[in-house]
Every structure is written in C-alpha cells, then in structure tokens.
A and B are shown apart, each in its own frame.
Chain A
Amino acid sequence: MAAILAAFTLTTATCQPLRAADAPMVRIENFAFTPPVLTVKPGTTVTFRNDDDIPHLVVANDSSFRSKALDTGDTYEFTFTKAGDFAYFCGLHPHMQGKITVAP
C-alpha cells in the first residue's frame, strides 16, 4: 500500500512541474485573473482558462488579441512574440483586469 502511494506521489510530482513550465496559464476564477500579472519570455503561448460558472471574454486593451466568449472550462491561447506590457480586461466584466509582461 505504501509503495503504491509513493509511486503515485512520484508520478504526480514529476508531471506537474513539466506541465506548468510548458504552458503558462492564467486562470479565471471568482471574476478575477490569476495571476493578475504574468511574466513570460517572447514566443510564449499563454493559456487563459475560465473556471467560473459564468462566461468571460479576454480582450487586450490595445485590441491586439481578443478571445471568443469562454464558457466554463473553455480555454483561449495567445502567443506573445513581442516584448512589452500587454494589459487586458474581460470584455463582459471590464472591472476584471490583468497584464502579461513579455521580457527576454
């Protein structure tokens, strides 16, 4: 029993950091973007995932990207190629705001 548990812990422990490194993610929960500020390297694809029971919509302040309405569990991906600060908000609930900082 202990061996099985240890093996299981080991599997999850090796999987999770890999996934996190591969796919930087902004989670949408409780009408907020988490993390509110995310720093990535140029060329990184960021995934936005809606974990609320209500749709949200990710829109760049400078209109450089815009998702479709994301229902519960839906994701939106955008690849940030240029360095800089990219502020964004929810097109349905504009008091929700976030920022992606792209730096080498």
Chain B
Amino acid sequence: MTTLIVIDQAPYGSWSGREALDMAFSLAAFDHPAAMLFTGPGVNWLRKGQQPDGVGQKSAEKNLSAAPLFGIEALIADEHACQQYGLSESAMLPGIELASNIQNVLSSHTHVVFAG
C-alpha cells in the first residue's frame, strides 16, 4: 500500500508543504512505500534553481533531489498545472513523472494525504 502525499500549495509561503515533505520522508524511513503528487501552485516546488535564502528559508530542492535515495517511490507532477504555471520539463528537477490525469493517480492509491 503506497501512501500518496499531495502538495497543492506553493512553496515557502506556508509551512504545510514542508511538513508534508517530512511526512513523506518519514514514511520512507520506516520502510512504508510513499509517493508525492504536486498539483496546482504546488508544482512550483519542482522548479530548478530555487533561491529561498532571500526569504530566510532552506531550499526544498535538495530534499526533493534526494527523495529517490531515501526510498520515495515517485515524484509526480500534474501536467496541466505545470502548463498553467509555465513550468517546462527543462525548468524542472530531474526524475519527475508527469501525469495528465491526476484523478487516476489519486484513485490508484488507497491512502492519500493532503498537506494541511
């Protein structure tokens, strides 16, 4: 049973995405399969070259690049949201799967957690 952690809010403006990321890494650390879906403004987490120093935060980019290493099964981006936010594949971190129908992604997981 893979748990899908969904991030649907932009990075850095609130803490909920960061805490959702901690949940995904924690599942992986306890050998529970986890995957992440980025949708809506949440796709901006996947942008290359983030510079969060300016707002006094740590970069999520490094965490996300290390996700496969820590055992997170997949990082999935909502293709439609990527188009909406002008995020091309070349501007995206490597190793991201694109999903054209997130309804399918959601329904293929029995356990779905939204960042609150």
A and B bind: no
Using a CB–CB cutoff of 8 Å, the interface residues on chain B facing chain A are: none
Using a CB–CB cutoff of 8 Å, the interface residues on chain A facing chain B are: none
